[in-house]
């Protein structure tokens, strides 16, 4: 499928690369996002990447719609490369127990041990394909084939904030307590969304690379306390 432009009303355009969840499509989306950012066009308010598309919200009285469409089709040709905007993160997670109540069921459903589930998850570099559903909610992928499970038959009414969860080819971390139907494997002490940080309120942004690293419960408590007091900030979690 060739990239194409779709109208989302008179104040937004969507550059569509395809209709699947596909890492190669997402890499093109991120390349187009970076190419568009480099143009510094006046009149753009928001640029929203998804797995397969880039939606640009703009003011058509300040930026000509046809010109934007043309520029976007040029941006679509940008070669996928390591994004200048993308950051790498190493995210500490306490697995199992109360923090990850579904880990035994996931091990059983996949026919592996709990240790093997954790080891595989922590060995896999995941990409942030999209932030959506809730402010700062990252969709991460892709999981190895054998770790892909359908959602829970009955979603939980309240998933605790900071839970690491998986469903299908994707993982996510809940920035807020919310209803949720994904399998809960653990929790991170990190703050995923900080309303007081106006430059980058969400820890993770589309295109970022993420790996998880296991910690024990004591370390979780120690880090959670240090995050709460501001003793350590998010830059601690940037992968070296």
Partner 1 sequence: MIEILDAALPVSFQDGGRPGYRHLGVPLSGALDAEWLAIANALAGNPAATVALEIRLRGPRLRALRPLTLALAGEFSARIEDAAGQSRPAANWRSHALTENEVFDCGFLRSGIGYLAVHGGFDLPTVLGSRSTYARAGIGGIDGRALRAGDRIGAGAGEPPTPMRLPQPPQIGDGPLRVIAGPQREYFTDAAWAKFIDAEFTVSREADRMGLRLDGPQLEHDPTLGADIVSDGVAPGAIQVPGDGRPIVLLADCQTVGGYPKIATVIAADLPRLAHALPGHSLRFVEVDLEQALAARRRAATELTACIASILADRPFDLDALYAANLIDGVIDAQHAT
Contact residues for partner 1, defined by CB under 8 A: 6-12, 14, 16, 19-21, 45-55, 57, 60-61, 65, 130-137, 176, 193, 195, 198, 201-202, 205-206
Residue 10 or 145: which CB sits closer to partner 1? 10
CB of 11 to partner 1, least distance (A): 5
CB of 28 to partner 1, least distance (A): 14
CB of 159 to partner 1, least distance (A): 15
Residue 203 or 223: which CB sits closer to partner 1? 203
CA–CA distance from 89 to each of 58, 147, 196 (Å)?
A: 31, 22, 21
> At a CB cut-off of 8 Å and minimum separation 6, what does 225 contact?
231
Q: Which of 164, 142, 153, 148 is nearest to 112 (CA)?
A: 148
> At a CB cut-off of 8 Å and minimum separation 6, what does 38 contact?
none
Contact between 207 and 128 (Cβ < 8 Å): yes
Residue 110 or 177: which CB sits closer to partner 1? 177
CB of 85 to partner 1, least distance (A): 10
CB of 9 to partner 1, least distance (A): 3
Residue 16 or 102: which CB sits closer to partner 1? 16
The string over 171-205, giving b where at least 16 C-beta atoms fall within 10 Å of a residue's C-beta and e elsewhere, is bbbbbeebebebbbbbbbbbbbbbeeeeeeebbbb
Question: Which residues on neighbouring strands pair with residue 16, listed in sequence order?
Answer: 4, 53
Q: Say if strands 12-16 and 4-7 run parallel, antiparallel, or are unpaired.
A: antiparallel
What gap in Å lies between CA 208 and CA 81, rounded to an integer? 13
Residue 131 or 190: which CB sits closer to partner 1? 131
CB of 13 to partner 1, least distance (A): 9
Residue 64 or 114: which CB sits closer to partner 1? 64
């Amino acid at each position: 499928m060739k990239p194409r432009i779709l109208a989302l009303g008179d104040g937004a355009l969507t550059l569509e690369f395809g209709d699947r969840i596909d890492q190669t499509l997402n890499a093109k989306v991120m390349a187009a996002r970076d190419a568009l950012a480099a143009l510094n066009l006046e009149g753009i308010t928001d640029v929203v990447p998804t797995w397969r598309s880039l939606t640009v919200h703009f003011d058509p009285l300040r930026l000509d719609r046809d010109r934007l469409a043309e520029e976007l089709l040029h941006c679509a040709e940008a070669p996928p490369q390591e994004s200048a905007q993308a950051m790498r993160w190493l995210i500490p997670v306490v697995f199992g127990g109360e923090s990850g109540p579904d880990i035994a069921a996931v091990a059983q459903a996949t026919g592996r041990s709990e240790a093997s589930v954790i080891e595989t998850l922590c060995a896999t570099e995941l990409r942030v394909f999209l932030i959506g559903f809730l402010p700062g909610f990252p969709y991460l992928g892709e999981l190895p084939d054998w770790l892909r499970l359908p959602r829970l038959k009955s979603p939980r009414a309240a998933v605790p904030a900071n839970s690491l969860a998986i469903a299908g080819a994707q993982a996510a971390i809940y920035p807020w307590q919310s209803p949720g139907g994904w399998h809960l494997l653990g929790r991170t002490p990190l703050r995923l969304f900080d309303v007081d940080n106006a430059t980058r309120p969400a820890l993770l942004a589309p295109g970022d690379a993420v790996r998880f690293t296991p910690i024990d419960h004591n370390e979780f408590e120690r880090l959670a306390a240090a995050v709460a007091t501001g003793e350590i900030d998010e830059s601690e979690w940037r992968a070296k």
